[in-house]
Structure 1
Amino acid sequence: MRFLNTRQSISENAFELINIFIMLIICFLTLYPIWYCIVNSFNDGADAMMGGIYWWPRMFSIDNYKAVFADTSILKAFAVTILRTVIGTALAVYFTAMVSYALSKKELAGRKIYMMIGSITLFFSGGLIPFFILIKKIGLYDNFLVFIIPSMFYFFNAIIFIAFFKELPSALEESAKIDGANDVVIFIKIIIPLSTPVLATIAIYVGVYHWNDYFAGVIFIKSMDLQPIQTFLYKIIAENTSGQMMGRAAGSINQGAVTSQSIKLATMVATTFPIVCVYPFLQKYFVKGILLGSVKG
């Protein structure tokens, strides 16, 4: 086989073959459940109830997706999630970078105290009930900003930023200060453009969190117009509201071709597809950013 090195010993080649075999099994176990959901979501719901569908749809149908998107609630939920992901990710990345840039400077007054407090938050939290009371007291309950403000800063992300900023040449900042630039100008015009890999890495972390989070919508949102798409999916699965979706789409679909289970699968695929499409475009920055933020740190 071409991937085997003829200069290596038989035991080394055997070890590589075993590793490849194990990784293929892990990839299959990871990807097949996703493929299974996609295949069954495009199959006639009544036919899928008989089972035996593993690789390809037996009776291809898009009625499941018609039933999903006939409900205007899912479109509102998509809009809330997209808005939350874009605004929340942009603000979180910029705010975390700004705080981390300050914490990366040894001359910052009280730096050790800030770092100690931040480190404590990695292991302990105040608990859900105190956090819920805090959210209500500051007026964020049933407010769109409850998705944005509490998630603007995570100390774990700050650690990656700090490790990266520490490795930037100090001569860049010194020369900029000689030219009359202050810290804000240096941060915006010099530091940020040089930090594309780590910015993309943190953007992936935060963006995936915002897209996948359902818990905030369940606990802090009571208005249907403000629930994100993952909360919408949670209610379909947990509260079995798929029957209501079938009722709303009664005029546009074949009722016998759609079941509660098929609607759940179609909703899962529809809510996951956008973030899966975005991830590959940022993958190269993700790998590079992780290396810069960990190896150099």
Structure 2
Amino acid sequence: MNRKVMKKDLDSRIFDAINIVIMVLFTIIIVVPLWNVVVSSFASGSALARGNFIFWPDEWSFENYRSVFRDSAILNAFLISAAKTVIGVVTHVFFCAMMAYGMSKADLKGRKLYSTMGIITMFFSGGMIPTYLLIRSLGLLNSFWVYIIPALLSYYDVIILMNFFRAVPVSLEESAKIDGAGYWRVFLQIFLPLSKPALATIALFNGVAQWNDFMTARLYITDKALYPLQMKLYEIIVQSQTQGMQHIGSAVVESTTKGVQLATIVVTTVPILIIYPLLQKHFIAGMLVGAVKE
């Protein structure tokens, strides 16, 4: 018996050791490239041209970030990105939650038809050209609302919330209705507060998608005053590449262009890195919804 216990303990230690080694290697594979991107964005053009560093450049410079923020339109683009992310997340989460609340009711008329239509949208779309024609017919070209209205509904998020709402005890809703509460009051004061983990998870995913969205502006926006940060930084990268093409053979100029590109990556990533820890607790709880059955 003791030998079996000792063997089991030895096997557990070997398993733990292998797991630790794999996780350390996996962490190094992820962290080292990220660290290299950050420090390279602060490296001078000559240091990037030499390229003889991984963890620490021998010459530091803020010129890459000066190139990014030199354009006065950057602040306006940042505000557009922030506005469309905040408004887009709030409206998307509320709209999906509202639809999920109705779809979670078994007595909803036409529920199977609505569900079938929603599932079809998860796998099929009209394509880029029909979507562009639809956006144009709705008058959303060169409009801020082109960032918001087409992104209002995701049936995948509706399914997540619908399953979450079904887990809410029916007795709570019945008690509220006995006290005179209507559907809106039950939805706003009972279902939404009890669904914070799921709502936070959807908000995080949608917020990252909204912040990183580039193609919407690329396809439907020509007014530069409505450019989000990603589109503006894309312009900066294109301009820096054009300058590099005009000085072909100059390693310093090509390295400066690379430095500007790395700086844009850092600028667009930092806001998400700041927001993520604030939602991490709810995000983890939302991801574990339904993972444990009592």
TM-score above 0.5, yes or no: yes
| Cα drift, residue 19 of structure 1 | 2.4
CA distance in 1, matches of 2:68, 2:142: 25
Q: Which amino acid aligns with 2:100?
A: S
CA distance in 2, matches of 1:294, 1:236: 45
Secondary structure of 1:122 counterpart: helix
Matched, 1:196 2:196: yes
The verdict on how the C-alpha distance between 1:277 and 1:169 changes in structure 2, with shifts beyond 3 A counting, is: same
Q: Select the residue among 273, 277, 291 that pairs with 2:288.
A: 291
Counterpart for residue 281 of structure 1: 278
What are structure 2's unaligned runs of at least 5 residues? 245-251
CA distance in 1, matches of 2:51, 2:136: 47
The verdict on how the C-alpha distance between 1:184 and 1:279 changes in structure 2, with shifts beyond 3 A counting, is: same
| Cα drift, residue 293 of structure 1 | 5.3
Matched, 1:242 2:240: yes
| Cα drift, residue 29 of structure 1 | 2.0
1:155-201, CA deviations, whole angstroms, 9 ceiling, x for partnerless residues? 11111101110000111111111111100011111111111111111
| Cα drift, residue 243 of structure 1 | 6.4
| Cα drift, residue 6 of structure 1 | 7.7
Secondary structure of 1:292 counterpart: coil
Secondary structure of 2:50 counterpart: coil
The verdict on how the C-alpha distance between 1:244 and 1:223 changes in structure 2, with shifts beyond 3 A counting, is: farther
1:26-82, CA deviations, whole angstroms, 9 ceiling, x for partnerless residues? 222222222111101111122221101211232122222122111112222111100
The size of the alignment, in residue pairs, is: 282
The verdict on how the C-alpha distance between 1:294 and 1:145 changes in structure 2, with shifts beyond 3 A counting, is: farther
CA distance in 2, matches of 1:171, 1:162: 17
Q: Which amino acid aligns with 2:281?
A: K
CA distance in 1, matches of 2:75, 2:6: 57
Matched, 1:262 2:259: yes
- Contact 2:88-2:152 at 8 Å conserved across structures: yes
Counterpart for residue 211 of structure 1: 211
CA distance in 2, matches of 1:206, 1:135: 21
- Contact 2:38-2:266 at 8 Å conserved across structures: yes
Runs of at least 4 residues off by over 4 Å = 243-246, 293-296
- Identity of aligned pairs, percent? 43
| Cα drift, residue 244 of structure 1 | 8.2
- Contact 1:160-1:294 at 8 Å conserved across structures: no
The verdict on how the C-alpha distance between 1:178 and 1:243 changes in structure 2, with shifts beyond 3 A counting, is: same
Counterpart for residue 247 of structure 2: none
What are structure 1's unaligned runs of at least 5 residues? 247-254
CA distance in 2, matches of 1:7, 1:153: 55
Q: Which amino acid aligns with 2:110?
A: G
Counterpart for residue 94 of structure 2: 94
Cα RMSD between the aligned structures?
Answer: 2.3
- Contact 1:81-1:211 at 8 Å conserved across structures: yes
- Contact 2:217-2:228 at 8 Å conserved across structures: yes
Higher mean C-alpha deviation, range 137-146 or range 6-15: 6-15
CA distance in 2, matches of 1:42, 1:243: 19
- Contact 1:68-1:263 at 8 Å conserved across structures: yes
Counterpart for residue 103 of structure 1: 103
Counterpart for residue 271 of structure 1: 268
1:6-45 to 2 correspondence within 5 Å?
A: 8-45=8-45
TM (normalized to structure 1)? Answer: 0.88
CA distance in 2, matches of 1:280, 1:190: 26
Secondary structure of 1:107 counterpart: coil
TM (normalized to structure 2)? Answer: 0.89
CA distance in 1, matches of 2:288, 2:17: 27
The verdict on how the C-alpha distance between 1:50 and 1:99 changes in structure 2, with shifts beyond 3 A counting, is: same
CA distance in 2, matches of 1:124, 1:276: 32
